Structures are given as structure tokens and as C-alpha cells.
Amino acid sequence: MLAYEELKGSSGRQIFFRPKRYDAADLFAGTPPKVFLKSAIFRMGDISLTGVCVNANQSVDATFEVGELLPFAVKQAGLTIFEGKAKVVRAERSVFGSKVALNLVDGVVDFHSLLRRNAQARISQQLATLDPHVGGLVSREYRAHCADVLRFLRAYRSVIEVSVKPFPHQTTGMSADEAYAMCEERIIPQWRSLWRAGNQLVVDVMADKKQLAAMKEYTELVVTPELNHGPVWHRSYFKPAGYPGDFEIMNYVYDWQREGPGVYEQLMHRVGLDVAECIGTRMHVVRKVIGDVVRAHTGETPARVMSLGCGSAREVELYLKDPDAPQGPISFTLIDQEANALAYAYDHAYPLTLSAKPQAKVQALNVSFTDVLRGGAWLDEAGPQDLIYSVGLIDYLIDRRARALAARLYERLAPGGLLIIGNMNETELSNLWPMEFITDWHLYYRTEQDMLAWTEGFANPQAWTETDPTGRVRLLFVRKG
């Protein structure tokens, strides 16, 4: 025990006390309420006695000024559980959407009252969904589909719980590995059938904002909590980095490991990996192209390769590790707005340039994607590139911005250089239903014609598209003549 005179306070900026901030996902037991600002819907990130931080995907077109006073409302299941006025103290906008921090100006958060009203709203919502005659914007067919999905998942949960319990007169039941293997073999084709049916039910509502919002809210109530037992679903839905598709989600897919405390959680994770498999397959396409570029490079300078939105840059790491990959000189420029992603990528790639591939170099640039869209001297200073690729960024952009970025990147290619742009493909088994409706992960899905149109006006391009092995990602290749 410390004596009174040994107790220490804080130092530096930490001497300024701030009320404790609560993660909304934890505080509201996995179903945080929505925050309404300027007639737009935001996800609650965290909340304190005096303020709240909210996020929205890039489809929300609202702008905020620091110091601006705004009315806002916190709603659960359509019912207002808190409202007031707040001042904008921080506003950030990126290709992933808006992030806004607010300070209350006309009161404080009464957590007891807030949580009680939240619980009342959740109960009212759940009771309403039990009414088979409930109307509204969610069709009977879609409600039946969500019920089928929930029954399907919970049937597996029940089977697993029974199978791993001790058998009569035995101390154990089936091993976790046996139970997982038997379920994994069966669940994936069954899940894909439901996934395909979900896509068919939602594709025609994407242009109707009210119906889209109602169907997403219904899905997040009925289906999302069950799948969130799987870590990859949980992270995709709650977005702890403040934006979707962070490098930790990418690593889940690249590593392809059983994640979760129990068999059922691991199985839900595996279902999520099936949806995200295209993240890994598109990476391996790029990895092969890197080797092809180095083999074909004949200049005196190293082959220059730039990755925009690099994330964990696993393709670079694997290329550098591969003893069969060409040993020619290569210089990688890795660009990402997330410092933690760059730290991971650099920590795993740079040591390999000292051992496995001594003719390789790696540099990392922490640049916001908003600044990438604007361009800048840093992009020119990187010099003409033999390969530029961005396979996880463009599908967050509206068509006008996607076209502009493609043109800007094409200009940075050396003669004969290759540009690769990846985008979620518009196909029967696209990621539309699981990503948009289950995890609130908004992307733009495009066809071959959509992507080839971006090359109009390019100087002497050779353009074509290919799909990854899953067919769910389309890759635009543009060779500079």
C-alpha cells in the first residue's frame, strides 16, 4: 500500500481529466443504437458523460464544421432514447465515410436512463417481429428468408452443443476437432445457397433508401447477432478501427485459422471467411503479377511497384519470402492511411529485404486516401512506376471519383507499366447481401463495362478485365503503351 504522499497524479496533457468513454458495442450488449444527424444515420462508436463519437459509411453525404451546433437524436429500433444539442469538436471525412465527435451543450448523459430506455426499445422491437402480420417496408419473403437463415445457424449450434457434451457413462463427447470437421464440410454449400437467395431478394431494393434502411435494420436485429459469434463477422460489423475492411480483417482471411473460443464460434468464423475468401484470392493474383513484372524488367533501375491501400501487404511479404520468386532488384512503395496497417506491413516486409531478397527495398507512406484523391508532390516524387495496384479501395468510391483516381494512377506509370484495379464484381454470388445487410459494409459492385469505361481518355491504353478464382472480384488491367 502506498503512503498518501506517494500517490501520483498524471502529467502532460493527461492532467486534463476526461470522463470515461464507453465503447458502444460493449455498453449496449452488441446492439448499439443509431445516431441521427442532419437527417443521416450514423453508427455510435463510443459515448461518455459529455459527448459521443459517431461514424457513417461513404453513402452518407453530409458535411460538418468544427464548432457547428446541431440537434441530434439517439434511436434504438426506431424509438428515440436520447436527444439534445451538441457541438462538433472533430469531423473527418475519408473514402470510407464520415467520423464526427460531438460534445453535449445542453445536458449530460444519464446512463441509467439511457440503458433502461434502450432495453425497452429492444424489447418492443423484438415483440413486434413476433407478429406474423406486421407490415412495413420489409417484405414477407425477406422476413421468411432471415428466419430460415437463423434456424439454419441455430440448428448447427444445437448439434455442436450436443455432440461435444459427455456421452452417457463417458467423461467426454466427440472431440472439438471432429465436430468442427463434420460441420464445416456440410455448412458451406448450405450457407452459399442461403447467401445466393439473399442476394436475389435485396438486389432490387438498393435504390430505395427507405426500404434499404428498413431491411438492413431488420437483418441486423435478426441475423447479425448470430453470425457475430464469429470473430470476422464481429469485427466487420463493429468496425473498431473506425472504418470497414481494416488490415486485421484482411489478416483473418490471409491466415485462414480457426478463431473463437468454441466450436460454434469457430464455425461462424469459417462461414465469414467463405464470404471474404476473395480478399485472399485477389491478393495471390497480384503476388503473381509482381513476379512477372520483375522477370520482365530490363532497366538499370529497380522495378518500381506501388500499392495503394496496402493494408498488411501480405502479397509483398509472401513475394519476399518465396525462394522461387525472381531475385531481381525491386522497390516497393506501400501507401495506407492507417498507421497500424503500415507498421504491420513494414515490420513483416522490411526484415526480408535484409535476408531473403537483398535487392529489394520497401518504403511506407502514411497518406490519407482523401489526399490520394487530391494528388500531391509525394506521388510525383515516387517516380514513374512499373506496377501500380489498388485492389481494396476503389469499390468504396462513387464512379466519378473512381474514374479520376484510375486516371491519376495511370499517369504515374512508366511506359509499358501496368495498372491493376480491383473492384467487387456484380455477379449472382456477389458479397452484396452478407456485407451490406449483415455487416453494414457498403461497397459499389461493378461490371466489366463499368470498369473498362474508366479508361476512356487514357493515352494509348491496353485494357482488359479478369475475375479472381471466386468470381467475386473483378480486376481491371491497363497496360500503358
**How far apart are alpha carbons 419 and 476 in whole angstroms?**
8
Residue 452 in 3-state DSSP?
A: helix
Q: Give me the mean pLDDT over the 237-260 stretch.
A: 94
The conformational region for residue 460 under phi > 0 = left, psi -120 to 50 = alpha, else beta, is: left
Whether 268 maps to a domain, the answer reads no
Residue 194 in 3-state DSSP?
A: helix
Which residues 6+ apart lie within 8 Å of 141 measured at CB?
201
Read off the pLDDT band of 123 (50, 70, 90).
confident
**Distances from the Cα of 135 to the Cα of 143, 320, 392, angstroms:** 11, 57, 38
Whether 149 maps to a domain, the answer reads no
Per-residue pLDDT tens over the stretch 50-98: 999 998 887 788 889 999 999 999 999 889 999 999 999 999 888 788 8
Per-residue pLDDT tens over the stretch 124-139: 877 766 666 555 899 9
The grid cell for 233 is: 463477422
**How far apart are alpha carbons 204 and 317 in whole angstroms?**
41
Q: What is the model's pLDDT at position 472?
A: 98
Whether 89 maps to a domain, the answer reads yes
Q: Given a cut of 80, is residue 403 above it in pLDDT?
A: yes
The grid cell for 33 is: 443504437
CATH number where 466 lies? 3.40.50.150
Q: State the pairing for strand pair 330-336/360-366.
A: parallel
Q: What is the model's pLDDT at position 122?
A: 85
Range of the domain at 433: 277-480
Q: What is the model's pLDDT at position 103?
A: 94
Mean pLDDT, the chain, whole residue set: 91
Q: What is the model's pLDDT at position 295?
A: 95
Q: Given a cut of 70, is residue 429 above it in pLDDT?
A: yes
Domain end, chosen from 108, 129, 150, is at 129
Q: What is the model's pLDDT at position 381?
A: 81
CATH number where 112 lies? 2.40.10.220
Q: What is the model's pLDDT at position 58?
A: 79
Domain end, chosen from 129, 156, 174, is at 129
Least confident of 124-138, 265-279, 375-389: 124-138
Q: How many domains does the chain have?
A: 2
Whose CA is closest to 335, among 289, 391, 399, 281? 391
Whether 3 maps to a domain, the answer reads no
Per-residue pLDDT tens over the stretch 35-49: 999 988 898 999 999
This prediction has a pTM of: 0.87
Residue 241 in 3-state DSSP?
A: coil
Whether 191 maps to a domain, the answer reads no
Domain end, chosen from 129, 151, 169, is at 129
Top-confidence residue, 228 or 123: 228
Whether 340 maps to a domain, the answer reads yes
* Dihedral sign (CA 167, 171, 176, 177): negative
Read off the pLDDT band of 239 (50, 70, 90).
very high
Per-residue pLDDT tens over the stretch 147-191: 999 999 999 999 999 888 777 767 777 899 999 999 999 999 999
Read off the pLDDT band of 12 (50, 70, 90).
low
Whether 142 maps to a domain, the answer reads no
Per-residue pLDDT tens over the stretch 433-443: 999 999 999 99
Q: What is the model's pLDDT at position 13?
A: 60
Q: Angle 176-202/140-163 helices, nearest 10 degrees? A: 180
Amino acid at 448: E
Whether 270 maps to a domain, the answer reads no
Q: What is the model's pLDDT at position 368?
A: 84
Least confident of 10-14, 104-108, 316-320: 10-14
**How far apart are alpha carbons 77 and 79 in whole angstroms?**
6
